[in-house]
Amino acid sequence: MKRIVTFGELMLRLTPPSFDRFGQSSRFEANFGGSEANVAVSLANYGLQSEFVSCLPANKIADASVRDLNHYGVVTDHVIRRAGRMGLYYMEEAVAMRSSQVVYDRGDSAFDRMQPGDLDWEAIFHDAGWFHWSGITPAVSQGAADVCAEAIRVARRMGLVVSCDINFRRNLWKYGKTAGEVLPALMEGCDIVFGTELEYKQALGVDMPAFKAVDTAYEMPMEGYRKAAEEVAAMLPHCHTIVFALRNVLHAQHHLLGGTLWHRGEIYSSRIFDIEGVVDCVGVGDAYNAGIIYGMLHDCTMQRSLDLGAAACALKNTVPGDYAQFPIEEIMAAADGNTNGRVQR
């Protein structure tokens, strides 16, 4: 099977321990993450050949971040080093009715300074079959947006499947452009698009029914999701698969999630997962994407691919950090209904 290439910024994440607020903690727990790297890690955990492409500074923190990816089996041969700094983000964890808070510190990072021509995309995509990017990358800077556009053009010319997670981040669009101005043109080059209700609204102006599940008996308004997917498909003629990731947060540790997938006129829905005791919801969308990508690469049905994505998303809520920590066997078991949490002996 051909390699899956993802492209984005790898960052250092700093989190106050024990649900402390930023102003009360003298310590921060550190790990690495970033949407596209998270997808690459999940795919490597599933036994696939995944490669993460980025630009990092030439320093020991960046070295440690690359070793961390390599530990999971992610290839980093085309991570380039340039002047600048490592991007950071600080995260205050949610608890009870208190929302999580994220502060980005990414300005003037090595990735922020990227320009077209910095990466040899033809060499990167040699023997690759899939390219995945997210809307976080073009939100960072005009240069990063231009590099992303360059990658999409080359990937399409070389016959790769191209997927995009809209990943709208309001706090990142600071260089004079909005998501609605930049993302649609990039998304036109995609075969598959992932996103949430808010993200499709921000990027394409498409409305869809709100996901209001309070238990697993919730009945999905499927005709509303079908209509929204067809509206997206009309805007993006190359796109044959449209995924709506659905989540209702009752409080910080109690979420309900599911999803729908539209593929060439047919629409599918996942089961609803009721998750009490959420540990960390960062990276759950990336896990969702990776589960669906795995299913599609293995010629699973669209229903099975969506089920794997929803199960991967649900399980990611149970581990701290950006990276999901599950082999494909656990994802399949959860997709098949093994969600009782019993001890496995």
Asked if the structure places residue 340 within a domain, the reply is: no
* Contact by Cβ (8 Å): 31, 10: no
Asked if the structure places residue 342 within a domain, the reply is: no
Domain that holds residue 124: 3-335
Say whether pLDDT at 343 is over 60.
no
Rounded percentage of the chain residues whose pLDDT exceeds 70 = 98
Residue 201: per-residue pLDDT:
97
Q: 191 versus 340: which is more confidently predicted?
A: 191
Asked if the structure places residue 344 within a domain, the reply is: no
Asked if the structure places residue 148 within a domain, the reply is: yes
| Count of domains forming the chain | 1
Residue 344: per-residue pLDDT:
63
Residue 315 CB: number of other CB atoms within 10 A? Answer: 23
Q: Which of 48, 20, 134, 2 is nearest to 328 (CA)?
A: 48
Say whether pLDDT at 314 is over 60.
yes
- The model's pLDDT over 250-293, given as tens digits with 9 standing for 90+, comes to 999 999 999 999 999 999 999 999 999 999 999 999 999 999 99
Asked if the structure places residue 341 within a domain, the reply is: no
Residue 256: per-residue pLDDT:
97
Average pLDDT across the chain, whole number: 95
* Cα dihedral across residues 195, 198, 201, 203: positive or negative: negative
Beta strand residue intervals within 224-329, DSSP E? 241-251, 254-263, 266-269, 273-276
Asked if the structure places residue 264 within a domain, the reply is: yes
CATH number for position 317: 3.40.1190.20
Residue 339: per-residue pLDDT:
76
Residue 8: per-residue pLDDT:
98
Residue 94: per-residue pLDDT:
87
Asked if the structure places residue 266 within a domain, the reply is: yes
Residue 99: per-residue pLDDT:
87
Give, in order, the Cα–Cα distances in Å from 273 to each of 179, 258, 313.
30, 6, 9
- The model's pLDDT over 180-192, given as tens digits with 9 standing for 90+, comes to 999 999 999 999 9
Asked if the structure places residue 343 within a domain, the reply is: no
- The model's pLDDT over 20-75, given as tens digits with 9 standing for 90+, comes to 998 898 899 999 999 999 999 999 999 999 999 999 999 999 999 999 999 999 99
Q: 77 versus 171: which is more confidently predicted?
A: 77
**Confidence grade of residue 342 (pLDDT, cut at 50, 70, 90):** low
